[in-house]
Amino acid sequence: MPSTARGYQAALRLALAVAPAAGWVSPRIRAGIQARCHAGERLLEWSRSKREPHRPLAWFHASSVGEGLQAQSVLVAFRRLCPQCQVVYTHFSPSAEELARRIEADVADYLPWDLTREMALLLRALAPDLLVFVKLDVWPELSTRAADSGARVALVAGTVSPGSGRLRKPVRNVLRPGYRAMAAAAVIAEEDGR
């Protein structure tokens, strides 16, 4: 499975360079940026102290609180089906912090930025068997690298509105590797699947 394009990584690095300016405008954005700065380190620390390599690990990612509530339902059922699994839960938005503290996961935190080095380190340390994205927040580097590492990548409650920018170039081309890495996709409607 190919990793993401250099253009994606360059655009992401540019966005990271200007992100602090957005934090001046919005306290919510500032909180998310600050919390995300050390999220990778916190997840790596959890993997060093609490990851049990003999147990399977499932990593669920939901962007914000709405997707998190959908993930919570899936997680509850997943825990019943696979009680021996360890579960990592990540989110992107500060709106999901409170839910993340309550969710049935062994560790919950922000998703670090989708950069090549950071994702490679996390995937090596966590060694997930399953990576599940909820709704539409698929991160291409994480998705492709997880699939390359042998993890099964899936999408649940998948949906995208017909007018979404995700369906238009160049965004569609940038996201394509992440979606191609998926082994399974459970979508809301047939149109979403297409």
SS3 readout for 113-179: CCCHHHHHHHHHHHCCCEEEEECCCCCHHHHHHHHHCCCEEEEEEECCCCCCHHHCCCHHHHHHHHH
Q: What is the DSSP letter of 108?
A: E
Model pLDDT for residues 56-81, shown as the tens digit of each residue: 999 999 999 999 999 999 999 999 99
The separation between CA 21 and the C-alpha centre of its own chain, rounded to angstroms, equals: 24
Q: Is the pTM of this model over 0.75?
A: yes
Structure tokens at 12: 């992401």
| pLDDT tier, 4 (very low <50, low <70, confident <90, very high otherwise) | low
Q: What is the DSSP letter of 93?
A: S
pLDDT (0 to 100) of residue 3: 61
Structure tokens at 171: 């965004």
Task: Tell me the sheet residues that pair with 90.
Answer: 61, 109
Lowest model confidence (mean pLDDT) among 37-46, 65-74, 130-139, 154-163? 154-163
Distance CA 75, CA 105 (A): 8
3-class secondary-structure state, position 60: strand
Please give the single-letter amino acid code of residue 107: V
**Above 70 in pLDDT, residue 1?**
no
